[in-house]
Every structure is written in C-alpha cells, then in structure tokens.
C-alpha cells in the first residue's frame, strides 16, 4: 500500500466503489487506459484513411478495448505486449488531428480549421497550446491530492465565458504562460508523476480545447518517454510552480516497468460527442464541473447556449459507460434556487451514488469583483460570497435528496461547522 491507499477517505464505500479503477491505476496495481490502448492494433493505414473510416475503426475497436480493460480489471489478466503500429492510441491521435482541421472538440462546433486558421472559433485558439503553470496541487479533493498532490497542468483559454471565473487570469488570457509542444507537455506530466503525484490532472481554463496536444502527449508517454533530455526538462521547468522540492520516486510511476499514471479529465464538460469517444479510451477518472441549472443562467452568466443539455448528456454518457467520476458544483450567491437545487435534483435522479463535492469557496472574481477594474454591474447579483444560509441550504437539500456528498465535501474539516 502507498500513501494514497492509506487515506481514511477510502473507508467510505461510496468513494471506494466509484473510484476503484482510478485508485488501482494511481497505485500502479493496474495499467492506465492509455497503456491498454497500445495493446490493440489496427490494420488501417491512418494517414491515408478518410475521417469516416477512422471513426468507423474507433467504433469497431472500442468494444475490443473495453473487454480488455474489464479482463485486466476483474480477472487480473496481464497487460500483454504493445501491439504493432498503428495501434488504438495512434488512431485516437490521428482523429484528434483530423478534428482540429474542422474543429468540433466542443459543443460550439465552430468548424474552423485551427491547423491553418483564417478564422478562430469561440475559444480563440489556433493549433498552439499554452500552459500557464503546473504543480503538485494540494487543494483538490483528498482522493486526488492525496499526500503528494494532484499533478495539475493548467491550460489557457476557455470555451465558456463565466463572468465569475475563479481562474480568470488563465481563462480570459489565451496568451498566458508558455507555448507547449506535445513533448514538453509529456515531460511536464512525466515530471509530476515521477515526483509522486497521484494522477495527471488536465485542467484549464478549459482542457477540451487542447485535445489534440494532450492526446499527442499521452501518446508520447505511452511510447515510453523514459528519460526526457536535459533540454526537455529545462524547457518544461520554466512554468513549474512548486514551492517544495520533491524526491524522484520512479517506483511510484511505473506499471510493468513502464510509465503509468491515471489520467484525470477536469473539465466544464461542454464537449462534443466525438471528443467523448476519443477520451473514453484515454481517461481513467472524470471530474466534471456542473455549474448551471436548466434556465437561462448559463446564458446570462457564461454566454453559453445549450449548456444543460450538453453537460447532462455527457454526464449520462460516462455514467452509462461505468466510468470513475466525481462531480463538482460551486454554490453561487443568489443562484441556489435556479442552479444548485436543479443540479442536485438531476444528480439525485440520474446518478445518486456519484460522490458530489458541493463547493462553498465561490468568491467574486473576474467581471464580478466590485473592487476590480473589470467589474461589470450587470453581475451585481453575484458580486459577493454566498451566505452561510445559502451554503447550509445547499447541504440540507443534498442530504434530503440522499446524495453522496458529505465525505467529499467536508473532508477538509472546515465545512462541517455549517451543518
């Protein structure tokens, strides 16, 4: 057993049941999905195939892949050798590159060619990805931060426009941070895991809009980025933002002698079906942020149409797939009735067993901070912290609905004074 396994939080069956695959990969008892994807070959010539043919091949291989995941998970079957190229991971990489040329990574479905941009989509990005910073995140949920942190990589820009964004410096400034190619990105992930991080936490801004770079980086990790060069490390270290020095712990980063780490998708979940289908092969645990109710709040506060149907659709999908996940919901001032309650009701109706973190740390930020230069008076109703009564009512409602929220919400031992 390692540091993560020993934490008290796993004594809650609701947590352990829902995150058992993630924990097994984090502890290197099982290989991450991206490692399994490399054991499944395709006879398709990827560069020559039409995009339709590539999707068709993904449809064909996904059940084969899932069956192998189940045999490894439930029957203890060994990983098996890497397949000859191209394999399923190569197929995912090729599909992400094709999608970039008519971008449909997310529900905006902008259809712009980000590889040779004459026009930009809602996220304002071309092909380049930038990382603002990355580090051992010790503020995430205990199941993710463990003792040595969640290996969190923050990308710039976003496909939503939340006026209150709690990471506005990153999401509203697409040129923040450092340009990364897949090799630098893979080096960042490698470094975090070698230093003991329990997972690789892909986040932003929004992460979906960087799908092509991330898939390519995961692919390089699968190829055994065994020891990045001095130059790789020097480049990657430029935006690493850890306060402590960490020992190198190679044993905590390997399964069967090769790099291993659970991939965590920390996202607003405003993704396209196509992005979901690729990610199903790569992601070990999902961390969706479920913000707004079914009314107009996603439009008025985030200028995002079709929010409810998209996010609930994607949540239903990963739930039906039997994926590991926890949900986050941030309680906003004056939005308990229109957002918090409908969100909690939906979770209670569709996936009541999924651990849900009801977060109380909202603070007015970005366009909602009355003391900031960017303040927009249209957002006066959310220009304050939630009251204790609003937080207490949110918890009361979750409890009445029978949600599994208490362990994951109160584990820092602060919030339970509100009950």
**Which residues of the shown chain bind ligand SF4 in the complex (CB under 6 A)?**
103-106, 108-110, 112, 121-123, 125, 159, 209
What CA–CA distance (Å, rounded) separates 287 from 137? 15
Q: Are 160 and 270 contacting, i.e. CB atoms less than 8 angstroms apart? A: yes
The two three-digit tokens of residue 82, written as one number: 């890497």
Q: Are 228 and 5 contacting, i.e. CB atoms less than 8 angstroms apart? A: no
Q: How far is the CB of 168 from ligand SF4 (least distance, A)?
A: 18
C-beta nearest to ligand SF4: residue: 121
Q: Which is nearer to ligand SF4, 4 or 106 (CB)?
A: 106
Q: How many CB atoms lie within 10 A of CB 8?
A: 9
Q: Are 385 and 362 contacting, i.e. CB atoms less than 8 angstroms apart? A: yes
Q: How far is the CB of 60 from ligand SF4 (least distance, A)?
A: 26
Q: Which is nearer to ligand SF4, 110 or 338 (CB)?
A: 110
Q: How far is the CB of 316 from ligand SF4 (least distance, A)?
A: 21
Residue 130: beta bridge partners? Answer: 179
Residue 45 half-sphere exposure toward CB, CA atoms < 13 A: 2
Q: How far is the CB of 164 from ligand SF4 (least distance, A)?
A: 20
What CA–CA distance (Å, rounded) separates 352 from 345? 9
Residue 81 half-sphere exposure toward CB, CA atoms < 13 A: 3
From first CA to last CA, the distance across the chain in angstroms is: 34
8 Rama class: left (phi>0) / alpha (psi -120 to 50) / beta:
alpha
Q: Which is nearer to ligand SF4, 97 or 109 (CB)?
A: 109
What CA–CA distance (Å, rounded) separates 345 from 50? 43
Q: How far is the CB of 106 from ligand SF4 (least distance, A)?
A: 3
Q: Are 236 and 188 contacting, i.e. CB atoms less than 8 angstroms apart? A: yes
Q: Which is nearer to ligand SF4, 125 or 285 (CB)?
A: 125
Q: How many CB atoms lie within 10 A of CB 255?
A: 18
Q: How far is the CB of 175 from ligand SF4 (least distance, A)?
A: 16
Q: Which is nearer to ligand SF4, 191 or 209 (CB)?
A: 209
The two three-digit tokens of residue 313, written as one number: 């659709």
Q: How far is the CB of 88 from ligand SF4 (least distance, A)?
A: 23
Q: How far is the CB of 273 from ligand SF4 (least distance, A)?
A: 12
CA dihedral 235, 239, 240, 244 (to 10 degrees): 120
φ and ψ of 176, to 5 deg: -60, 150
Q: Which is nearer to ligand SF4, 12 or 51 (CB)?
A: 51
For the chain, how many residues are written?
A: 419
Q: What is the DSSP letter of 127?
A: S
Q: How far is the CB of 180 from ligand SF4 (least distance, A)?
A: 17
Q: Which is nearer to ligand SF4, 4 or 96 (CB)?
A: 96
Q: Which is nearer to ligand SF4, 58 or 112 (CB)?
A: 112
Q: Which is nearer to ligand SF4, 105 or 346 (CB)?
A: 105
Cis upstream peptide for 133 (omega within 30°): no
């Amino acid at each position: 057993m390692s540091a993560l396994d020993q934490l008290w939080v796993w004594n809650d069956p609701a947590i352990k049941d829902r995150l058992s695959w993630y924990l097994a990969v984090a502890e290197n008892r099982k290989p991450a999905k991206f490692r399994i994807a490399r054991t499944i070959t395709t006879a398709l010539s990827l560069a020559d195939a039409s995009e339709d043919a590539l999707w068709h091949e993904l449809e064909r291989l996904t059940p084969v892949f899932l069956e192998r995941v189940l045999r490894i998970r439930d029957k203890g079957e060994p990983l098996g050798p890497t397949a000859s190229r191209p394999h399923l991971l190569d197929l995912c990489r090729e599909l992400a590159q094709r999608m970039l040329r008519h971008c449909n990574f997310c529900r905006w479905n902008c259809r712009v060619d980000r590889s040779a941009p004459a026009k930009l989509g809602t996220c304002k990005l071309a092909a380049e990805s930038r990382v603002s910073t990355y580090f051992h995140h010790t503020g995430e949920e205990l199941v993710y931060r463990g003792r040595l942190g969640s290996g969190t990589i923050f990308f710039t820009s976003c496909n939503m426009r939340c006026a209150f964004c709690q990471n506005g410096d990153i999401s509203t400034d697409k040129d923040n941070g450092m340009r990364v190619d897949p090799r630098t990105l893979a080096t960042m992930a490698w470094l975090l895991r070698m230093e003991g991080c329990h997972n690789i936490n892909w986040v932003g801004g929004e992460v979906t809009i960087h799908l092509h770079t991330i898939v390519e980086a995961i692919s390089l990790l699968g190829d055994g980025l065994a020891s990045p060069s001095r130059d790789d490390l020097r480049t990657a270290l430029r935006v690493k933002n850890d306060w402590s020095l960490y020992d190198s712990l190679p044993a905590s980063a390997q399964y069967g002698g090769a790099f291993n780490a659970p991939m965590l998708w920390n996202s607003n979940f405003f993704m396209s079906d196509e992005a979901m289908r690729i990610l199903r092969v790569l992601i070990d645990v999902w961390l969706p942020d479920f913000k707004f109710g079914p009314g107009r709040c996603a439009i008025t506060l985030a200028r995002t149409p079709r929010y409810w149907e998209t996010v609930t659709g994607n949540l239903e999908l990963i739930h039906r797939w039997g994926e590991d996940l926890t949900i986050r919901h941030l309680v906003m001032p004056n939005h308990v009735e229109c957002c918090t309650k409908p969100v909690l009701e939906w979770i209670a109706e569709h996936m009541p067993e999924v651990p849900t973190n009801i977060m109380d740390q909202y603070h007015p930020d970005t366009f909602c901070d009355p003391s900031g230069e960017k303040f927009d008076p249209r957002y006066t109703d959310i220009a304050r912290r939630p009251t204790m009564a609003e937080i207490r009512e949110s918890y009361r409602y979750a409890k009445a609905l029978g949600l599994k929220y208490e362990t994951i919400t109160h584990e820092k031992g602060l919030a339970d004074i509100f009950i």
